[in-house]
A and B are shown apart, each in its own frame.
Chain A
Amino acid sequence: MNHSGHNPTAPGRVAVLIAVGALVVATHSHAAQTGITRDAIELRAAPYSDANLVTSLPTQTKVEILRRRGGWIKINVEAYGQGWVPLHKVRLGDSAQRNRSSFWGLSMLWRSASTGRSGASGLVATTGIRGMRDEDITGAVPDPQAVKSLDGFQASNVEAQAHAVSAGLEQQRVEYVEPSKKKKKKKRKKKKKKKKKGKS
């Protein structure tokens, strides 16, 4: 076994940590994520459907994603400026096809390292990575010791609550509404309205 590879003070190791740290900054500081519109959409001045219209964007417009607020994302569009669009109307990446690598975190680091900015083409999609394929699961040698080790990570109710409160999370009463049932109700209401209209 090569122990030098695990030495945290080895210069190479430190460099790797710095590099990987930079990856996290790049990934999680909301800096420059690229996206492309899935449909023709309206760019709004605020994250509401009745906010002022900035402009209408054609489908497959390339955008820069700045941040998210609920179901809306703030984007920057060349020649149009900034505004808000519904989250699901934008696909991440820069192609109309789904072409993102699952390892885009590393590819972002690669880009910013080699070009100093994001958006340039960088590391290509990784294939054949170490993963959990179905045959890995069905052919796995059981590891009951690993299951036991999870006990060491568990959180008590009190710890969980304190952790939530410290981040400003407030418990809410939220009912679960069966999606299909709600639709039926709506349809019924519409039918009733139609009937009323017919009478008047």
Chain B
Amino acid sequence: MAAALAVSVGWSVAGRAQFDIGRLIKAVTPVSQKAEIKMGKGIAANLLGAASPVADQALQGYVNKIGKWLALQTEKPDLPWRFAILDTDSVNAFAVPGGYVFVTRGMLLLMRDESELAGTLAHEISHVVERHALKTMRKGNWAGVAGDALNAVAEGEGGQEFDKLINVGTEIYSRGLDKKDEFAADVRGAVIAARGGYDPYGLVAMLQSFASINPQDDAVALMFKTHPDPEERMDRLLTYVDENLQKYGAQPNNAERFAQVMRTHVAQYKPVARAARRTEGDGTPDDEKSEAIKTIAPIFSQ
């Protein structure tokens, strides 16, 4: 199989060299959509191995309806879009090639209305549409690899080469994308939210929350490491939205519907089950949190 791959790489390089030297240097044969989706599946499996989707049909359905609606406002409405809230306290969101978008429960808890959720999903959707993760891969370890070779590995699926590709793809989520692409996704995210009829300032409000969190807080460590400073993001995005999208600021933020669904979500929230799971790991801190809830509980049940 490796031999067959080598042959196909050699052939494609030689073939192109005959008519387009510029393209050979850049090796920019686009990644096929089929390859993108297969790679995305592999990367998504790794991310979901780190944190499971919250087992709550109502919550996940809600997020998928909003996410799909926003995806329909883009140039790629037909990707197999899948959205999920991940069961972790960390504050973060992920865009995986092929249309997987994940938002953590910790981030959801920071949101104050649906336009903040919409802005967040739209930011991630924009990363997918613009293929920012693939771009980062092609700049890093896979810089020298021709697109055809990458496609052959990804579409072939399975095997060591494929695993390597997925691992490189997954590493991006611990290192981060190009900072420029993060700023671009903020702006495009606000545009997509406005197209979907939402108040585009929701994403600015989300960034306001980030810009208020103690950078030493473990829950934001990875997001802060992989993204530009939230205050700079907020200020830049606000400048754009004020200049270009101000009139959409009167569009709905659906605070009531969001609060309603959060109640559904939180009713499914299982601090007890989570505490039990903790005993498998190191975890005192989560238990402390459950303790806090237990301490509070009697006050509210009186």
> Which A residues are closer than 8 A to B by beta carbons?
1-2, 5-6, 11-24, 27-30, 68-71, 86-88, 90-93, 97-106, 109-110, 113-114, 123, 125-138, 140-144, 146-147, 149-157, 159-161, 163-164, 167-177, 179, 182
- The answer to whether residues A21 and B47 also contact, given A28-B259, A129-B289, A131-B218 and a CB cut-off of 8 A, is no
- The answer to whether residues A142 and B45 also contact, given A130-B89, A149-B53 and a CB cut-off of 8 A, is yes
- State the CA gap A141–B60 with chains docked (Å): 23
- State the CA gap A19–B100 with chains docked (Å): 33
Residues of A within 8 Å of B245, CB to CB, are 174
Confirm or deny: B97 has a beta carbon within 8 angstroms of a beta carbon on chain A.
no
Q: From residue 46 to 61 of chain B, which have CB atoms closer than 8 A to chain A?
A: 46-53, 57, 60-61
Query: Is A134 a contact of B222 with CB atoms below 8 Å?
Result: yes
A14-B301, A93-B212, A154-B68 known; 9 new pairs, CB 8 Å cut-off, are: A5-B272, A27-B262, A102-B106, A104-B110, A134-B222, A161-B72, A163-B69, A164-B196, A174-B245
Contact of A100 (CB < 8 Å), options: B212, B222, B235, B241 = B212
- State the CA gap A87–B113 with chains docked (Å): 15
Residues of A within 8 Å of B83, CB to CB, are 150, 153
- The answer to whether residues A126 and B272 also contact, given A15-B298, A87-B201, A91-B211 and a CB cut-off of 8 A, is no
A-B contact count (CB 8 A): 336
| A–B complex contacts, Cβ < 8 Å, 29 sampled | A5-B273, A11-B301, A18-B301, A19-B296, A20-B269, A28-B255, A28-B262, A68-B112, A70-B249, A71-B238, A88-B235, A102-B217, A106-B293, A125-B214, A130-B285, A131-B88, A137-B173, A142-B42, A142-B45, A143-B48, A153-B57, A157-B68, A160-B64, A169-B251, A171-B195, A171-B196, A172-B197, A174-B248, A182-B243
Nearest 6 interchain pairs by C-beta: A70-B249, A169-B197, A134-B174, A140-B49, A131-B90, A92-B212
Query: Is A101 a contact of B67 with CB atoms below 8 Å?
Result: no
Query: Is B285 a contact of A30 with CB atoms below 8 Å?
Result: no
- State the CA gap A133–B217 with chains docked (Å): 12
Query: Is B216 a contact of A92 with CB atoms below 8 Å?
Result: no
Query: Is B267 a contact of A87 with CB atoms below 8 Å?
Result: no
- The answer to whether residues A102 and B253 also contact, given A19-B296, A28-B112 and a CB cut-off of 8 A, is no
Residues of A within 8 Å of B238, CB to CB, are 71, 86-88
Residues of B within 8 Å of A163, CB to CB, are 62, 65-66, 69
Q: From residue 237 to 288 of chain B, which have CB atoms closer than 8 A to chain A?
A: 238, 240-246, 248-255, 257-259, 262-263, 266-267, 269-276, 278, 281, 283-286, 288
Query: Is A172 a contact of B248 with CB atoms below 8 Å?
Result: yes
- The answer to whether residues A21 and B201 also contact, given A128-B218, A128-B285 and a CB cut-off of 8 A, is no
**Interchain nearest-CB distance for A41 vs B (Å):** 14
**Interchain nearest-CB distance for A145 vs B (Å):** 9
> Which B residues are closer than 8 A to A by beta carbons?
41-42, 44-53, 57, 60-69, 72-73, 77, 80-84, 86, 88-92, 100, 104, 106, 109-110, 112-114, 166-167, 170-171, 173-175, 187-188, 191, 194-199, 201, 204-205, 208-209, 211-222, 225, 234-236, 238, 240-246, 248-255, 257-259, 262-263, 266-267, 269-276, 278, 281, 283-286, 288-289, 292-294, 296-301
Query: Is A146 a contact of B53 with CB atoms below 8 Å?
Result: yes
Contact of A24 (CB < 8 Å), options: B73, B198, B249, B266 = B266
Query: Is A100 a contact of B214 with CB atoms below 8 Å?
Result: yes
Residues of A within 8 Å of B301, CB to CB, are 11, 14-15, 18-19
Query: Is B222 a contact of A133 with CB atoms below 8 Å?
Result: yes
Query: Is A105 a contact of B90 with CB atoms below 8 Å?
Result: no
Contact of B218 (CB < 8 Å), options: A22, A126, A157, A164 = A126
